Copies of this chain bind each other. A is one copy, B any other.
Amino acid sequence: MDTPFYPPRRTLMGPGPSDVSPRVLEALSRDTIGHLDPQFIQLMDEVKRLLQYAFDTKNEMTFAVSAPGSAGMECCFVNLVEPGDKVVVAQNGAFGGRMKENVERAGGEAIMVMDDWGHAVDTDKVAEALKANPDAKILAFVHAETSTGALSDAETLCTLAKENDCLTIVDAVTSLGGSPLHVDDWGIDAIYSGTQKCLSCVPGISPVSFSNRALDVIRQRETKVQSWFLDINLLLGYWGGETKRAYHHTAPVNAMYALHESLTILKNEGIEKAWNRHHRNHGALKAGFEAMGMNFIVDESSRLPQLNAVTIPEGVDEAQVRSQLLDGYSLEIGAGLGSLAGKIWRVGLMGHSSTPKNVFLCLGAMDAVMTDMGAPINSGVAVKAARAFYDAV
């Protein structure tokens, strides 16, 4: 007999997935109905309305791509980029590099504006690149770099794009629900996110939104969108408008129940309150790490509260620490990606994971594990420092 799989109960404080609320898991497990059932169509409308709230947009074409954030990214690029198009891509981490791949695979030309990993996108350099490339069609950048924890100034970047008559594609995988984001006010044309970060839904679907300006460009393409699955012209028939829905693909019905529930939780908390909660718990984690003598790689001015990239104390075997945290505390934190592999940990405080309890657990466990190893940290002070932070604010 083959046997069931029972996952361990983890505390998820890596770069995502974050802890999923029991409410969301319960919603996920409700009875499956058809993807064209009138009640499912109503749910889709509700999800759209809640996503409009989360993105702060009135965009009609706000929906969930039936695949992870990487496909949400691809959906934005393959619809807006035609062969030969110039796209200015600001890269300050791993996901800017993935944007370049997307541009090139869609036949476009990527003009790269490079910043060091851990820094925000330099708006001056982007302004220069846009001026040097007046024929650029799109500016693409990552709002919150999941690989480093750096937050970039999306509002200024979108203003620059508009001044140069460019569309914008924005990666909000880690920012949505965790950091202020205003799609309409900032004039973002295409944006994608993930469900498994600050929304604390299960991984697998990707919230996106397209402005009417973007839709006009997509409708006037000279070539077909290279992906049938991600073609907005076809998806409009399933997710857009008020009229009868046309079958395109079978939506991930149960994942949509879960997304609806996680967005309902966000709406009922209030998104500003959620941003503040992320900010406050980050403050406590920071107080703890600093008391231990550990450093953040991102400057305070552009540091994401939901993703804390800290340098590994000298002489410490970082993989051993992670594995002891997992085995001894059932606690997951993240490793570094790309050029930061082996140099940093990424500690997430996203969505449902962003709680004082998790701050205490993480600081206490990291303190204990590293003290045991003889790591060069100030032992036994981190949890107290976090407690003092909460007591003071």
> A residues bordering B, Cβ < 8 Å?
1-10, 12, 14, 16-17, 19-20, 25-35, 37-40, 43, 46, 50, 66-71, 73-74, 98, 101-102, 104-106, 194, 196, 202-205, 224-229, 247-255, 257, 260-261, 263-264, 267-268, 326, 332, 337
Q: Are A37 and B255 in contact, CB atoms less than 8 angstroms apart?
A: no
Knowing A39-B7, A227-B227, A255-B204, the reply to whether A20 touches B1 (Cβ < 8 A) is no
Q: Are A101 and B228 in contact, CB atoms less than 8 angstroms apart?
A: yes
Knowing A7-B33, A250-B16, the reply to whether A105 touches B39 (Cβ < 8 A) is no
Q: Are B250 and A196 in contact, CB atoms less than 8 angstroms apart?
A: yes
Q: Taking the nearest CB of chain B, how far is it from the CB of A231, in angstroms?
A: 8
Specify which of B8, B46, B268 is in contact with A33 (CB 8 Å cutoff).
B8
Given contacts A10-B32, A105-B224, 19 further A-B contacts (CB under 8 A): A4-B27, A5-B46, A6-B30, A7-B257, A8-B31, A8-B33, A12-B34, A17-B33, A17-B35, A17-B253, A25-B30, A37-B326, A66-B71, A66-B204, A70-B229, A202-B253, A204-B250, A204-B251, A252-B255
Q: Are B31 and A29 in contact, CB atoms less than 8 angstroms apart?
A: no
Q: Are B31 and A254 in contact, CB atoms less than 8 angstroms apart?
A: no
CB nearest to A75 among chain B residues: B229
Specify which chain B residues have a CB less than 8 angstroms from the CB of A71 in the assembled complex. 66-67, 71, 229, 249
Q: Taking the nearest CB of chain B, how far is it from the CB of A50, in angstroms?
A: 7
Specify which of B1, B16, B19, B28 is in contact with A254 (CB 8 Å cutoff).
B28
Specify which chain B residues have a CB less than 8 angstroms from the CB of A17 in the assembled complex. 32-35, 250, 253
Specify which of B6, B26, B66, B248 is in contact with A29 (CB 8 Å cutoff).
B26
CB nearest to A260 among chain B residues: B5
CB nearest to A196 among chain B residues: B250
CB nearest to A98 among chain B residues: B228
Main SS class of interface, A: loop
Specify which chain B residues have a CB less than 8 angstroms from the CB of A20 in the assembled complex. 31-32, 254
A334 to B35, CA, bound (A): 11
Knowing A252-B68, A326-B37, A337-B247, the reply to whether A105 touches B31 (Cβ < 8 A) is no
Knowing A29-B29, A254-B28, the reply to whether A39 touches B2 (Cβ < 8 A) is no
Specify which chain B residues have a CB less than 8 angstroms from the CB of A225 in the assembled complex. 105
Knowing A17-B253, A67-B66, A203-B253, the reply to whether A74 touches B27 (Cβ < 8 A) is no
Knowing A17-B253, A247-B337, A326-B37, the reply to whether A227 touches B261 (Cβ < 8 A) is no
CB nearest to A77 among chain B residues: B228
Specify which chain B residues have a CB less than 8 angstroms from the CB of A261 in the assembled complex. 4-5
Specify which chain B residues have a CB less than 8 angstroms from the CB of A337 in the assembled complex. 247
A29 to B4, CA, bound (A): 13
Specify which chain B residues have a CB less than 8 angstroms from the CB of A32 in the assembled complex. 7, 10, 12, 17, 19-20, 25, 196, 202-203
Knowing A7-B39, A16-B250, the reply to whether A226 touches B66 (Cβ < 8 A) is no
Question: Lowest 5 A-B CB distances belong to which pairs?
Answer: A204-B252, A29-B29, A67-B67, A70-B249, A20-B32
Specify which chain B residues have a CB less than 8 angstroms from the CB of A247 in the assembled complex. 337
Q: Are B5 and A33 in contact, CB atoms less than 8 angstroms apart?
A: no
Specify which chain B residues have a CB less than 8 angstroms from the CB of A73 in the assembled complex. 229
Specify which chain B residues have a CB less than 8 angstroms from the CB of A16 in the assembled complex. 250
A27 to B248, CA, bound (A): 28
Specify which chain B residues have a CB less than 8 angstroms from the CB of A6 in the assembled complex. 30
Q: Are B252 and A203 in contact, CB atoms less than 8 angstroms apart?
A: yes
Knowing A7-B30, A105-B226, A204-B204, the reply to whether A1 touches B268 (Cβ < 8 A) is yes
Q: Are A227 and B67 in contact, CB atoms less than 8 angstroms apart?
A: no
Q: Are B228 and A74 in contact, CB atoms less than 8 angstroms apart?
A: yes
A228 to B104, CA, bound (A): 10
